[in-house]
Amino acid sequence: MNVRRIALVVLLVLNAVVLLGQLWPEGVPPFARWVNIGFLLTNPFVLVGVLRSERSPS
């Protein structure tokens, strides 16, 4: 697996935990705050990386 695919899988898992916390607030794990912060910090970097790789010719 390449780095891009691993980053996307990590973001999907983090997004699933965030969505679960929104749908079922009583069942939020104790680390949910850190998952939200990690998702918010990681998402822009991955987005910029994907956009940058789309622009550069391969």
Give residue 26's pLDDT. 86
* Per-residue b or e along 12-41, where b marks 16 or more CB atoms closer than 10 Å to that residue's CB: eebeebbeebeeeeeebeeeeeebeebbee
- The answer, as to whether pTM is greater than 0.75, is no
Tens-place pLDDT, residues 4-54: 788 788 888 878 877 888 888 887 778 878 888 888 888 888 788 878 876
